[in-house]
Structure 1
Amino acid sequence: MSDEKFQVIIIGAGVAGSAAAYRLAKAGREVLVVEKGRAPGAKNMTGGRLYTYALEELMPGEWADAPLEREVTREIMMMMTPEDCVSIDSTFGSLEQQSYTVLRAKLDAWLAEKAEEAGAMIIPGSTVDGLIFKDGKVAGIKTGDEELEADLVISAEGVNATVAERSGLIRPVNLKDIAVGVKHVIKLSEEIINERFNTVSGKGAAVLCVGDCNRGISGGAFLYTNKESISLGLVVDSQSWKNSKLPLADVAESLKQHPALARYIEGGELVEYSAHLIPEGGFNSLPQLCADGFLLAGDAAGFVVNRGFTVRGMDYAILSGIAAAEAANEAIEAGVYTKSALKSYENKLQQRVLKDLGVFKKSHDYIAHSRHLYTTYPRLAADLMKNIYNVDGSPAKLVTGLVKQSISGKISYFDVFKDMLKGGRSL
């Protein structure tokens, strides 16, 4: 047993873990972060987009040097068939709350460095093999031949929270609550990106797609502009993917060939290819968030909301890191680390993170199980727009007639109404 004891040990140097470490170190606490990757950010992957209000809450006015890629000022939603695409393209001069595209290898390394500068100790390249228990309370971690003691352990180990799971603190992840993300990072010059997306340096676009991009599997595709690269990928519901029996690598590769997206990446160089699990079970699949001497934060806790047109996870991870640090500070001040004392963590999360997950608790079920969303509706949208713009000399019809013509024989009006009502109540 090591003679050294920390006040807090954090598992994982992602945005949740580093946010908690930064706040605790700023408060003068003795904090150790153990990171499995060779460096913070080395094994992290996301689409990715960060809503920067969370950084402002973490370090007010001090995040100006964060390695953000482009401010998102253009939002594009696509409904795709194998040949066609119908898009809603929205461009904004400015938004009240900023969001930026990010590359996690850069962002995580920067945030971990901020935590170190504040006084936290970070050990990369180390795997936590288990937790130490004393009298039923979590009292530290096991890593290799070492045992490191702590008053409190915060698990921010990501969606594969194997340490917490093997210790019996949370149940194993259920297939129905998990999505799989696959991402290509394609290098292009800043000038070409600006030209193709009709933007200027520092400004960029976020594209979210539904339909044939996933070959009928429940989920969607994304494209984000970085400074000198494009992040292009897809997210699929695990159960739907399993049932489809389609090789996911082939689906991801075909995405790059779709005419609606291929024009954006033409001539680019593939510089990164990665895949990652995403917790999408939402409110109804949340594990216990605290135990004696233990807190769960970020993706490990399942703090992700996918509404189809927005996907949020990193901002919730940062907020959970802040809340975990505040709860830990209170516990240290009181010298009490019982589950009941740490319940203040859940109370802090309830103000926004848990509140949002509760509001959108039906979103995953709607997105994963609305069978027409990925096949019928994109085709209807494409057929309708073709009918609207088609001029062939035949008698013209009102839009209402064209809508009926597009829907007739493909889906009942009652099914359309049900899906619209369910979507409005879920998203």
Structure 2
Amino acid sequence: MSQQTFDVVVAGAGPAGTTAALLLARRGYKVALIERGEFPGAKNMFGGVLYSRVLDEIVPGFYNRAPVERFVNRKIVSLLSEDSVVSLDFNSSAFKNPPYNGFVVQRASFDRWYAGEAVKAGVLLLNQTIVDDVIREGGQVAGVRVRRERGEIRARAVIAADGAVSLLARQAGLRQAFAPDQFSLGVKEVIQLPPRAMEERFSLNGNEGLSSEFLGRMGNGLHGGAFIYTNRDSLSVGVVAQVHSLKARGATIYDALDSFKCHPAIAPLLEGGRFLEYSAHLIPEAGAKMVPRLYTGGMLVAGDAAGLVLAGGLFLEGVNPAVTSGRLAAETIIDAFEAGDFSEKMMARYESRLKESSVLQDLKRYKGAARMLLNERLYEYYPSFVCRTLERWFTVDGAGHPKLAGMVKKLLDQDIGLWQAAKDGYQMGRAWLW
């Protein structure tokens, strides 16, 4: 590959990179979108829910032609003990109407479709191309080096959207070394299930979909959560475990997934299903703490590469922030072209835009959640405590029903103590409520 020149090079054809490339191409700029996989989405994995309002502003009515599975109108949050489950079930009629709140999607098909929209707008998509380094000239980023013969691609601006462990952000000196407690590892299986069986088991009608998340011990004492999402004719079933937990216990996340699938509350939901595929993905979960420097002269960092994942325990949102960051990166580069200025000072407008958006505001708002998720009792003790407490309270054995508050106090006194429970409750309140 001989040297080529573009207006903008985007590394990574996920939601952030494709959004930026699409919007820049619409404005007439010559854009190269580089993807290391065989096709966009081939190496991408996430649980399964794409929240749709932000993307609908960029591609109005996208859900009418994109490969979405089901719209999500029902969300269940559950606490798991070894043999019990306590759930909060939310079902909204408002989420059944356009533009909908979100959709279950498969990244392999959705990312491929979305990148196709960018190609239609004029983007050059380069699949199976690995970016190794940035090119610097005059103190600014001026392109990238790719793993091909004479593989230099020059550009006035570069957007690094190359995933959670972004090589480009490190090569440009924008990101420091990672710590294990900043990441979780997610693994997902897709299990084929007849639509009728799935709809009966999950109380769904037509194209209705379910997002179900679980918190508790995921086998071998691993700290994390699990999920089940309903596709059109399959289930996305997976677990997410903290990397430092995996390392400390010498366990594998596949053991955790098997343990979750065998749980007495989960196994009947999967009965008769046929395994189709699995995938794994690193998830940046340290919130604002792990957001790198987002810009330098001639370059911006977006999506997972910028750590822009909202991980609050009750929710895990990465695609929406990625799309927003891609849009704001494109807007900043358009400013730079109009001013003829790609300096660091001009690129700093990107960070200012992010601070004014919900992306960095949410990361700041829920910054306590990242610390809370490191609390071992959140996984080891409280899910089991809630299940045990309700099991005792609902047991009818002729001995009567004690007042719930008194029973809770007694159990906490026996286990971790009221003072520790109060401190944990305050930490959870700071993370989620105020």
TM-score for both structures, normalised by structure 2:
0.95
Residues 84-163 of structure 1 mapped to structure 2, 5 A cutoff: 84-95=84-95, 98-143=101-146, 144-145=148-149, 146-163=151-168
Matched residue of 1:126: which SS?
A: coil
**Could you report, residue by residue, the CA deviation over 1:269-324 in whole angstroms, capped at 9, with x for unpaired residues?**
11111111011111022101000110000000000011111111100000000001
Of residues 270, 274, 280, the one that matches 1:269 is: 274
Correspondence for 2:422: 417
Residue 407 (structure 1) shift: 2.8
Residue 249 (structure 1) shift: 1.7
CA distance in 2, matches of 1:183, 1:18: 24
CA distance in 2, matches of 1:396, 1:22: 62
**Could you report, residue by residue, the CA deviation over 1:108-132 in whole angstroms, capped at 9, with x for unpaired residues?**
0011000011111101011112111
Residue 2 (structure 1) shift: 4.4
Opposite residue 29 of structure 2, the aligned amino acid is: R
**Could you report, residue by residue, the CA deviation over 1:173-228 in whole angstroms, capped at 9, with x for unpaired residues?**
22221111111111111111111101112111111111133543222111111111
Gaps of 5+ in 1: none
Residues 172-191 of structure 1 mapped to structure 2, 5 A cutoff: 172-191=177-196
CA distance in 2, matches of 1:389, 1:221: 26
CA distance in 1, matches of 2:252, 2:324: 36
1:43 equivalent to 2:43? Answer yes
Residue 398 (structure 1) shift: 2.1
Correspondence for 1:326: 331
Correspondence for 1:365: 371
- Could you list the structure 1 runs, at least 4 aligned residues long, displaced by more than 4 angstroms after superposition: none
CA distance in 2, matches of 1:63, 1:30: 27
Matched residue of 2:326: which SS?
A: helix
Residues 10-409 of structure 1 mapped to structure 2, 5 A cutoff: 10-95=10-95, 98-143=101-146, 144-145=148-149, 146-351=151-356, 352-368=358-374, 370-409=375-414
Opposite residue 165 of structure 2, the aligned amino acid is: N
CA distance in 2, matches of 1:311, 1:396: 38
CA distance in 1, matches of 2:202, 2:61: 30
CA distance in 2, matches of 1:189, 1:63: 23
Matched residue of 1:129: which SS?
A: strand
CA distance in 2, matches of 1:83, 1:3: 61
CA distance in 1, matches of 2:394, 2:368: 36
CA distance in 2, matches of 1:419, 1:278: 25
Matched residue of 1:303: which SS?
A: coil
**Could you report, residue by residue, the CA deviation over 1:337-372 in whole angstroms, capped at 9, with x for unpaired residues?**
11110111111111221111111112111012x121
Opposite residue 360 of structure 2, the aligned amino acid is: L
CA distance in 2, matches of 1:417, 1:169: 40
CA distance in 1, matches of 2:197, 2:400: 44
Residue 170 (structure 1) shift: 2.1
Matched residue of 2:266: which SS?
A: helix
TM-score for both structures, normalised by structure 1:
0.96
Q: Is the 8 A contact 1:214 1:234 kept in 2?
A: no
Opposite residue 141 of structure 2, the aligned amino acid is: V
Name whichever of 268-277 and 294-303 sits farther off: 268-277
Name whichever of 389-398 and 268-277 sits farther off: 389-398
Matched residue of 2:185: which SS?
A: strand
Q: Is the 8 A contact 2:239 2:253 kept in 1?
A: no
CA distance in 2, matches of 1:350, 1:371: 32
CA distance in 2, matches of 1:161, 1:87: 37
| Backbone CA RMSD of aligned residues | 1.6
Q: Is the 8 A contact 1:383 1:406 kept in 2?
A: no
Residue 71 (structure 1) shift: 1.4
Q: Is the 8 A contact 1:189 1:228 kept in 2?
A: yes
CA distance in 1, matches of 2:322, 2:377: 32
CA distance in 2, matches of 1:261, 1:63: 30
Give the direction of change, closer, same or farther, for the CA distance of 1:191–1:413 in structure 2 (3 Å limit): same
CA distance in 2, matches of 1:118, 1:104: 21
Opposite residue 221 of structure 2, the aligned amino acid is: G
Opposite residue 341 of structure 1, the aligned amino acid is: M
Q: Is the 8 A contact 2:219 2:255 kept in 1?
A: no
Opposite residue 90 of structure 2, the aligned amino acid is: S
Correspondence for 1:5: 5
Matched residue of 1:199: which SS?
A: coil
CA distance in 2, matches of 1:2, 1:293: 22
Matched residue of 2:389: which SS?
A: helix
Paired-residue identity, %: 37
Gaps of 5+ in 2: none
Q: Is the 8 A contact 2:393 2:401 kept in 1?
A: no
Residues matched between the structures, number? 426
**Could you report, residue by residue, the CA deviation over 1:395-421 in whole angstroms, capped at 9, with x for unpaired residues?**
432222332344341121111111111
Residue 68 (structure 1) shift: 1.4
